[in-house]
Structure 1
Amino acid sequence: MYRIFWRTARAALMGGVGLAAAALPVGAENVKVGVILTYSGRDAALGEQIDRAINLYVKLHGADLPAGTTVELVRRDDTGPNPDVAKRLAQELILREKVQMLTGGQWTPNATAVAALSKEAKVPFVVMTAGGSAVTEQSPYVIRTGWTLWQTSYPLGQWAGKQGMKKAYTVVSDFAPGHDGEQAFIKGFTENGGDVVGSVRIPLKTSDYLPYLQKVKEANPETIYVFNPGGPQATAFMKAFDDIGLTRSKVRIIGPGDITSDDELPNMGKAALGVTTLLQYSPSGDRPENKEFVAAWKKEYGEAAVPTFFAVAGWDGMKAVFDAIIAQKGRIDPDKTMAFLSNWSNPKSPRGPIKIDPATRDIVQNQYIRRVEDVGGKLVNIETDTIPQVADPWKAMKK
């Protein structure tokens, strides 16, 4: 017999603390998992992708838990990239809720703040989507099931140089993943014959990209490397790119796949056509496990719903959590959990085979060259090439 309990901050404040414990039979194991994501504000759609993946995994795989084991998910809303808020929520989950594991980690600043607490409290933390390379170095109790910006942007820079692109301009959001992406792309590009003619960092919470793109237009590059966190920000950028006339000037946009998130492509319109990205996932990927995952997603959330790379990171992150619980028969020990997670793998992920590098506790996975194309009247990221089993280059270069 298994049961899954969900609780939000609102439920906890209204007296839901005893919900799971009161229902547990004698001898049962209740594993409390804290989930910190963005559930409100401009970037709530990104958090929703992760949360939906968590829900779907639990629904389809709850029966895999050991008999008598329950999992209680205690959710908290960080409202966006707010490290002070994330730290306070993590403290609450650890001290008041007594969670045995943490997950979520949507933003690098937030995940960095939470990682410090996971180290102090010895609470394993499965980071799902924060892409700053240094996150996993903040605590020995952290693994990551998402990606890093070095993992996408350094190989993309290498690819761009080898494709004969000569002049590039970088445009990134001004926070740690943007800095990582900028540095990684520049290194990969210049090592392969390219020249970066200009760079601009845009405030993370900006909604007006036109002044920044005017500078790009004046520099007249043939290629623009772009990184922003995706979602509505990516759509706003693409529309500004089109409005200022850069689409018509034949400037080529490349970047990590955040900038053409599949759920935002319908909002981007023709400005996204031809954009080339590098990423570990596309829902159009021709893999049996991916087709099964996409079908399950549409069955649960509607035919128009599309799982993104955020969703897959959440799906695999929840599998890692479940696998750790199953391996310990529901009795969570922090150090045994980390020993297991540091060597965890999933050969049948929707994105292809993935594994955790035990030396870095970071993910190793395929990266796919993707191009936005019109397929039957719908914009789709089509995978055109594979770079197999990429580890985080930033960590490899430090050795």
Structure 2
Amino acid sequence: MQRRHAFATLAAAALFAIGATGAHAQGAKVKVGFMLPYTGTYAALGNAIENGFRLYVQEQGGKLGGREIEFVKVDDESDPAKATDNVNKLIKRDSVDVIVGTVHSGVAMAMAKAAKDSGTLLIVPNAGADAVTGPMCAPNIFRSSFSNWQPAYAMGEVAAKRGHKKAITITWKYAAGDESVNGFKEAFEKNGGQVVKQLTLPFPNVEFQALLTEIAAAKPDAVYSFFAGGGAVKFVKDYAGAGLNKNIPLYGPGFLTDGTLEAQGDAAQGMLTTLHYADGLNTPRDNAFRLAYAKAYKLQPDVYAVQGYDAAQMLGIGLGAVKGDVSKKAEFAAAIEKAKIDSPRGAFTISKAHNPVQDIYLRKVDGKVNQVSGVAVKGLADPARGCRM
């Protein structure tokens, strides 16, 4: 009798312990690992992404899916050589539930591989590498930004519809540049145009003079270029300095003129670019976001802040559906796939490959803003070539 009673007591204690562990897990914080550039060329982008993410969490009272959020940070230094070690610090050392990162496509590719191998949730808030939602696609990998193909393809349609027949492309010879010019070429040629030359120079070389001479001699109807940051500043100024902008319009994705207009000055005025965000959207959702961001950080938000904010929204949708239980990966993914994300950029959905299906805006440089001048392509979905999911 005593033995039976002792057994029952032990069984009850074991059940209580299991219940307590489950309750503790449910009440524990969700650990979010930011793997972003906090130093170097892209530091401002990394900070804007984190600011946007934190703003959404603050608006939800510090909780997503009923669970408090704890943050861990790693500076990825935009260095692909350190990427695997850095992402493994978050997965193995810090035991994060979800990783948010990054800006540099080369780093993002290493992160995607680690996430795929370990099953850790990954939300990419910038890097546009087509492969992240192409051959590297996985049920636990999501993107809140764009693929390199999307703004480029939209600009190819715009250029063709503006009556241009012959175009030259120019970019740095690296993955993002290649993917961008290929997206432009695909749409431009599908709509009756022809890319007559594809000019490249090594990254991050900014000696453009010989290539500008080549463009002047070829006399195309239009030029499509993919550069960002300091390279974008110098290219746009050199292009205008050579007098080419008077007769041959220069087009590009929004990165050509985002965060660079102050330095580009008069050289950029009137330029058209395509991107999934623009100045002057003037919707209640965007106005509220811009005001809240400016109040919180004493800064004006940009596309990177929007992408961080929407990464948090996507995490909130997934966690809400599984009541905070991050182990329910299939239900988490299904909720995001069904959702309409109420973004400052305009509502968007997520494709089966987990890339945004979104409007791409046509923007015109006016003073120091990329003013919206219409929608270049509505609801553009990346083709997700190579995705098997």
- TM bucket (normalised to shorter chain) is 0.7 to 0.9
Structure 2 partner of 1:350: 344
How far does the alpha carbon of each residue in 1:319-341 deviate from its partner, in whole angstroms, 9 at most, with x for none?
Answer: 11222223323221152365245
How far does the alpha carbon of each residue in 1:89-111 deviate from its partner, in whole angstroms, 9 at most, with x for none?
Answer: 11111011101111112122111
CA distance in 2, matches of 1:354, 1:385: 14
- Determine whether 1:332 maps to 2:331: no
CA RMSD of the aligned region, Å? 2.5
Note the residue ranges of structure 2 that are not aligned, 5 or more in a row.
1-23
Amino acid corresponding to residue 145 of structure 1 in structure 2: S
Tell me whether 97-106 or 27-36 shows the greater mean CA deviation: 27-36
Q: What does residue range 153-164 of structure 1 map to in structure 2 within 5 Å?
A: 153-164=152-163
- Determine whether 1:75 maps to 2:73: yes
Q: The residue matched to 1:45 in structure 2 has which SS? A: helix
How far does the alpha carbon of each residue in 1:106-164 deviate from its partner, in whole angstroms, 9 at most, with x for none?
Answer: 12211111111111111011111111221123141211111112212123212211210
Note the residue ranges of structure 1 that are not aligned, 5 or more in a row.
1-24
- Are the structure 2 counterparts of residues 167 and 34 from structure 1 closer, same or farther at C-alpha, using a change threshold of 3 Å? same
CA distance in 2, matches of 1:300, 1:182: 37
Q: What does residue range 173-212 of structure 1 map to in structure 2 within 5 Å?
A: 173-212=172-211
Residue of 342, 347, 360 corresponding to 1:367: 360
Residue of 98, 105, 109 corresponding to 1:108: 105
Q: What does residue range 17-166 of structure 1 map to in structure 2 within 5 Å?
A: 28-67=27-66, 69-80=67-78, 82-136=79-133, 137-140=135-138, 141-166=140-165
Structure 1 partner of 2:379: 389
Q: The residue matched to 1:343 in structure 2 has which SS? A: helix
How far does the alpha carbon of each residue in 1:184-207 deviate from its partner, in whole angstroms, 9 at most, with x for none?
Answer: 111211222212221122333234
**How many residues are paired up?**
364
User: Any conservation in 1 of the 2:36–2:76 contact (CA below 8 Å)?
Assistant: yes
User: Any conservation in 2 of the 1:38–1:78 contact (CA below 8 Å)?
Assistant: yes
Which structure has more relative contact order (CA 8 Å, sep 6+)? It is 2
Q: What does residue range 244-393 of structure 1 map to in structure 2 within 5 Å?
A: 244-247=242-245, 249-261=246-258, 263-302=259-298, 305-333=299-327, 335-336=329-330, 338-340=332-334, 342-357=336-351, 359-374=352-367, 378-393=368-383
Displacement of 1:282 in angstroms is 0.9
CA distance in 1, matches of 2:311, 2:183: 25
Amino acid corresponding to residue 373 of structure 2 in structure 1: E
- Are the structure 2 counterparts of residues 203 and 37 from structure 1 closer, same or farther at C-alpha, using a change threshold of 3 Å? farther
User: Any conservation in 2 of the 1:29–1:330 contact (CA below 8 Å)?
Assistant: no
- Are the structure 2 counterparts of residues 279 and 380 from structure 1 closer, same or farther at C-alpha, using a change threshold of 3 Å? closer
User: Any conservation in 2 of the 1:320–1:341 contact (CA below 8 Å)?
Assistant: no
Tell me whether 113-122 or 191-200 shows the greater mean CA deviation: 191-200
Amino acid corresponding to residue 268 of structure 2 in structure 1: A
Amino acid corresponding to residue 37 of structure 1 in structure 2: L
Amino acid corresponding to residue 128 of structure 2 in structure 1: G
CA distance in 2, matches of 1:324, 1:292: 24
Amino acid corresponding to residue 353 of structure 1 in structure 2: A
Amino acid corresponding to residue 380 of structure 2 in structure 1: V
User: Any conservation in 1 of the 2:353–2:387 contact (CA below 8 Å)?
Assistant: no
- Are the structure 2 counterparts of residues 334 and 26 from structure 1 closer, same or farther at C-alpha, using a change threshold of 3 Å? closer
Displacement of 1:381 in angstroms is 2.5
Q: The residue matched to 1:282 in structure 2 has which SS? A: coil
- Are the structure 2 counterparts of residues 160 and 325 from structure 1 closer, same or farther at C-alpha, using a change threshold of 3 Å? same
Amino acid corresponding to residue 117 of structure 2 in structure 1: E
Displacement of 1:70 in angstroms is 2.1
Amino acid corresponding to residue 367 of structure 1 in structure 2: I
User: Any conservation in 1 of the 2:257–2:370 contact (CA below 8 Å)?
Assistant: no
- Determine whether 1:225 maps to 2:218: no
User: Any conservation in 1 of the 2:141–2:354 contact (CA below 8 Å)?
Assistant: yes
User: Any conservation in 1 of the 2:339–2:349 contact (CA below 8 Å)?
Assistant: yes
Q: The residue matched to 1:99 in structure 2 has which SS? A: coil
CA distance in 2, matches of 1:322, 1:27: 15
Displacement of 1:64 in angstroms is 4.7
Displacement of 1:241 in angstroms is 2.1
User: Any conservation in 2 of the 1:283–1:290 contact (CA below 8 Å)?
Assistant: no
- Are the structure 2 counterparts of residues 361 and 234 from structure 1 closer, same or farther at C-alpha, using a change threshold of 3 Å? same
CA distance in 2, matches of 1:205, 1:341: 41
Amino acid corresponding to residue 352 of structure 1 in structure 2: G
- The higher radius of gyration belongs to 2
The alignment's TM-score, normalised by the length of structure 1, stands at 0.84
Displacement of 1:40 in angstroms is 0.8
CA distance in 2, matches of 1:237, 1:338: 44
- Determine whether 1:239 maps to 2:237: yes
Displacement of 1:219 in angstroms is 2.5
Q: The residue matched to 1:131 in structure 2 has which SS? A: coil
